[in-house]
Amino acid sequence: MNKLLAFLLSATAAQAFAQSTPAPQPPRPANEQVVVPQVERRDVKLPKFPSKDFEVGAIAGVYSTENFGASAVYGLRVGYHITEDFFVQANLAQTKVSDEAFRQLLPGGGIFPKPEEKLTYYNVSAGYNLLPGEGFIGANRAKATAIYLLAGVGSTKLVERRRQTLNFGVGMRMLLADRAGIHLELRDHVFSIDLLGPRQSTNNLELTGGFAWYF
C-alpha cells in the first residue's frame, strides 16, 4: 500500500514538473529586430537654397590704347561659375580715344575724323581660380579670396570699324558677404589696326575694379 502511494505521488510530481517546464524554443536569428517601432512617416519639403553660381556687376578703371594714351573705362559684366575652379564671364565696356598729340604734330589734322572717338568692346572669357584662400581686413576679419587667370575672345569697335580681339589677364576676387564681392583685374586686349600705316597688332592694357552680386 505504501509503495503504491509513493508511486502515485512520484508520478503526480513528475507530471506537474513536466507541465511547468516550458517547451524548448527554436533558436532566434542573430539579426532579428526585437522591437519594431511604429513611426509615422511624413513628407518633408527640402528648402531650395540659392546656388549663387551667377554673377552680375559693374566695372570701372583705366584703358590704355597703344599710341593714343589712357582714358577712363566703365562697363558691365556677367558671369557663371561652372565649378569651384572654372567660370565664364562676358564684359561690355567703353572708353574714349584721343588723337590730340597727332593733331599738334601733323599740319593736315589728326588721325581720327574727330579729336576724340569712342572705343567700345565686348568679350567672352574663361577663367580658372588659381589660388583660392583668405584675405584679412584688419586683425580679426578674414574674407574668402581667389587669384584667377582668364582669357577669351571678343570684338573692339573704333572709328566705326570692328576688330577681332583677344584678351588675357589676371585678377583677384574677394567675397565681402554671402552674395557680394569686389574684384580687381589687369587685362591685355590684343587687336590689329592700320590707322598709322601698315596693319599692326597692338597691346592695349586695362586695369579695372568692380563690384559683383551673386545669385
* Three-state secondary structure string covering 7-58: HHHHHHHHHHHHHHCCCCCCCCCCCCCCCCCCCCCCCCCCCCCCCCCEEEEE
This prediction's pTM: 0.74
Taking residues 42-69, report their average pLDDT: 83
Residue 32 has what pLDDT?
A: 65
Kindly report, residue by residue over 134-179, the tens digit of the pLDDT.
Answer: 888 877 888 989 999 999 999 999 988 999 999 999 999 999 988 8
Residue 138 has what pLDDT?
A: 78
Kindly report, residue by residue over 18-48, the tens digit of the pLDDT.
Answer: 555 555 666 666 666 667 777 777 776 665 5
Instruction: Report the run of H or E that residue 103 belongs to, with start and end.
Output: helix 100-105
Distance CA 182, CA 194 (A): 37
Q: How far is CA 18 from CA 24, 27, 115, 131, in A?
A: 12, 21, 121, 83
**Burial status of residue 78 (CB atoms within 10 A of its CB: 0-12, 13-18, 19 or more):** middle
For the domain 54-214, what is the CATH code?
2.40.160.20
For the chain, the domains span 54-214
Residue 2 has what pLDDT?
A: 56
Taking residues 86-101, report their average pLDDT: 94
187 vs 45, more confident: 187
